[in-house]
Structure 1
Amino acid sequence: MGVVAKRSSMTFYSNGTDHYSHRVRIVLAEKGVAVEINDCDPNNLPEDLASLNPYNSLPTLLDRELVLYEPNVMMEYLDERFPHPPLLPVYPVARAESRLFMYRIQRDWSSQVDVILNSEDMDQVDTARQQLRDSLVTISPIFGEKDFFMSEEFTLVDCCIAPLLWRLEILGVELPEAQCKDLLEYMERLFERESFQLSLSEEEREMRD
């Protein structure tokens, strides 16, 4: 596991296949945080997790006495706790816009990914897969305007998007090269980042050929 570090008061209970855990691991790697990563089997969770997290869920971040169990809250906490490099804009309006982008990613893309991965209704899965593909194709030109999503700098928004794009193959979503040139180039930029490579679990490395 790439983000494992020297002994630390911070522990991250992570699911090595889960895109929500992955987004937090990217932030940890981007910040160079000394953290103990506990890769957990979601079907056989550690006994102490239930005493820490009332939902007994993954991911869970433990920093001394603080316990966090919502991924975006973890990401913003880490950005404030370890301010360099900053992963949200300085100014309130731009920060609010970034949070709104993260909300829309959750509503429009992450929710479709969750259906594809978890639903047993194949019609529902096919619909979610088509909607995710169509949405990505439609928005592809935006990724050509700046190096990162609506920004010249890598931000928490990119940390939310990257795990979804890394999983497109296992989701059965194929992007047409002619229509998605900008998005595919953006994906290359993300995947080549050192922090992204460090964030990958063994299971995630096996997701792409």
Structure 2
Amino acid sequence: MIDKGLLASSPVRARNGLTLYSALDDVVCHRVRLVLAAKGVPYDLVPVDPQAPPEDLIDLNPYQSVPTLVERDLVLYAALVVTEFLDERYPHPALMPMDPISRARVRLATLRIEHEWVPQVQAIQMGNKSQADAGRKRLSELLTASVPLFKASKFFLNSEMSLADCAIAPIIWRLEALNIPLPKDGKAIEDYGNRIFRNPGFARSLTEAERKLRVLPE
């Protein structure tokens, strides 16, 4: 559960054992918050403006980046590292398949989302008009190419929710706000998103800024 009282206070170390330094509207930070919500792990949230990181984050993380997770003397950064740590540290429910081939597929899918999808979102949100237009075009192409994957399983590449879903669901949540229409045969993407968005854990993962991006399905 997010300690919302911290949203208006100075950064402090976690009373619950975990502190997450996170931007309040960011697909990569949302990915980590979604893992924490899926696990039901309490943590303290320290809101960060990436353009003006707080002094303690500068001391903790040489890259001054978010998300950054702190557990006592352990400091982790980079979403891939943080999410895999959380899945191993809090093993129930598991967000990685048991067999090595399926795990490798989830890792590869997550890596492709990180390297291909996320930069398009960032270009739309932070780039100039030309960059934003190019980002929308490319993200639309990626969605269209991925329709068969959304149709193939209940979740992305799996019958159960995985770390790949935690990476892609924050992007699907933002499509309307990014002005990205679904492909003509994109009902599978809409249905996929609604399955995740109806989960109470997803609502817990949202900051107030992210709640305003669209309406949660009933």
Same fold (TM over 0.5): yes
Give the SS at the match of 1:61.
strand
CA RMSD in angstroms comes to: 1.6
Which residue matches 2:210? 204
Which residue matches 2:160? 153
Q: Describe the superposition over 1:131-170 as per-residue Cα deviations: whole angstroms up to 9, x where unpaired.
A: 1112212322321221101100000000000111111122
Separation (CA, whole Å) in 1 of partners of 2:46 and 2:131? 33
Deviates more, 1:131-140 or 1:19-28: 131-140
Matched, 1:27 2:35: yes
Matched, 1:169 2:172: no
Which residue matches 2:10? none
Which residue matches 1:59? 67
TM-score of the aligned structures, taking structure 1 as reference length: 0.93
Give the SS at the match of 2:130.
helix
In the alignment of these two chains, the number of paired residues is: 206
Which residue matches 2:47? 39
Which residue matches 2:79? 71
Unmatched 5+ stretches in structure 1: none
Give the SS at the match of 2:177.
helix
Identity of aligned residues (%): 44
Which residue matches 2:108? 100
Which residue matches 1:188? 194
Contact map agreement 1:19 1:164 (CA 8 A) in 2: yes
Give the SS at the match of 2:19.
strand
Separation (CA, whole Å) in 2 of partners of 1:44 and 1:200? 22
Unmatched 5+ stretches in structure 2: 5-13
Give the SS at the match of 1:48.
helix
Cα offset, 1:27, TM superposition: 0.5
Q: Which amino acid aligns with 1:110?
A: V
Cα offset, 1:50, TM superposition: 0.8
Separation (CA, whole Å) in 2 of partners of 1:150 and 1:89? 11
Which residue matches 2:2? 3
Which residue matches 2:90? 82
Contact map agreement 1:149 1:158 (CA 8 A) in 2: yes
Separation (CA, whole Å) in 2 of partners of 1:58 and 1:88? 23
Q: Which amino acid aligns with 1:94?
A: S
Separation (CA, whole Å) in 2 of partners of 1:206 and 1:64? 33
Give the SS at the match of 1:11.
strand
Structure 1 consecutive aligned stretches of length 4 or more whose deviation exceeds 6 Å: none
Separation (CA, whole Å) in 1 of partners of 2:136 and 2:49? 26
Q: Which amino acid aligns with 2:153?
A: K
Deviates more, 1:4-13 or 1:52-61: 4-13
